[in-house]
Amino acid sequence: GENVEQHPSTLSVQEGDSAVIKCTYSDSASNYFPWYKQELGKGPQLIIDIRSNVGEKKDQRIAVTLNKTAKHFSLHITETQPEDSAVYFCAARYDGNEKLTFGTGTRLTIIP
Amino acid sequence: DAGVIQSPRHEVTEMGQEVTLRCKPISGHNSLFWYRQTMMRGLELLIYFNNNVPIDDSGMPEDRFSAKMPNASFSTLKIQPSEPRDSAVYFCASSLEHRDYGYTFGSGTRLTVV
């Protein structure tokens, strides 16, 4: 089955700086890669996703890049703000499979 | 839409008691997932349903855990008997099959077994 590894497990950045979280996946058939943000006491919330037919997708201050050959994808947050502090999860799945395989999460702390 | 609704938000029970967690998925979604989240193991998929039918229950820890989905708008996860190691946050999520907008998660049920 699919295996998703996520790094780092914790990340602290100064407010205004950029943050990058990286994930690798094992199943070359995977073609859908969402990212979730989980704030304290809440369920994970989808913030951005990408399919394997594109290499990059942006939404305001967040972007996701995908390298199919290397089987890794990354979340980039620019101009970080205190409200970006949360746990972020990457995930992967392939068409026809409803199951998402999640990474182990990254706790991002923005230092004011 | 009110989103995925889970109840209760918090549950404290004594070891050996039966616990029932409830979930109402988003109307129109036809896939439903139960996850367990702990510090040690992260997000674990317990079971998922498609069109009310259990598709994959390989993540259910043992026979003490059972899940049902009697109709498209309701699912339960039952633990009987409960044990302290079952303490975790349990999430329900729903999605529309073959649509790429991922899952919508509920707010979770924090279960503490003492």
Nearest to A6 by CA among A45, A34, A40: A34
Measure Cα distances from B75 to A77, A108, B36, B61, B99 in Å. Answer: 36, 33, 15, 18, 21
Measure Cα distances from B53 to A78, B31, B65 in Å. Answer: 42, 9, 17
- Which residues of B are less than 8 Å from A32 in CB distance? 100
Least CA distance to B47: which residue of chain A?
Answer: A99
Average pLDDT over every residue of A102-106: 95
Nearest to A83 by CA among A109, A44, A49, A63: A109
If phi > 0 it is left, if psi is from -120 to 50 it is alpha, else beta; for residue A106 that is beta
Pairing state between β B65-71 and B53-56: unpaired
DSSP lists the bridge partners of residue B35 as B45, B91
CB-based contact A36:A93 (threshold 8 Å): no
Interchain CB contact of B52 with A (< 8 Å): no
A83 three-state secondary structure: helix
pLDDT of residue B99: 64
Nearest CB neighbour to B103, from listed A42, A51, A100 = A100
pLDDT of residue A1: 81
Nearest CB neighbour to B43, from listed A32, A41, A102 = A102
Q: What is the distance, to the nearest Å, from the Cα of residue B6 to the centroid of all Cα atoms in its chain?
A: 9
List the structure tokens of A21.
């979280």
CB-based contact A64:A77 (threshold 8 Å): no
- Which residues of B are less than 8 Å from A89 in CB distance? 43
DSSP lists the bridge partners of residue B67 as B77
Yes or no, beta carbons of A99 and B48 under 8 Å apart? yes
Asked whether the predicted pLDDT for residue A95 surpasses 80, the reply is no
DSSP string, B36-87: EEETTTEEEEEEEEETTEEEE-TT--STTEEEEEEETTEEEEEESS--GGG-
Nearest CB neighbour to B43, from listed A34, A51, A89 = A89
Which residues are CB-contacts of B64 (< 8 A; sequence separation ≥ 6)? Answer: B79, B80, B81, B82, B83, B86
Pairing state between β A86-92 and A106-111: antiparallel
pLDDT of residue B98: 64
The whole-angstrom separation of Cα A43 and Cα A25 is 23
Q: What is the pLDDT of residues A26-79, one digit of tens each?
A: 999 999 999 999 999 999 999 999 988 889 999 999 999 999 999 999 999 999
**Mean pLDDT of each 10-residue bin along chain B, 114 residues long:** 92 97 95 94 92 93 94 97 97 82 90 98
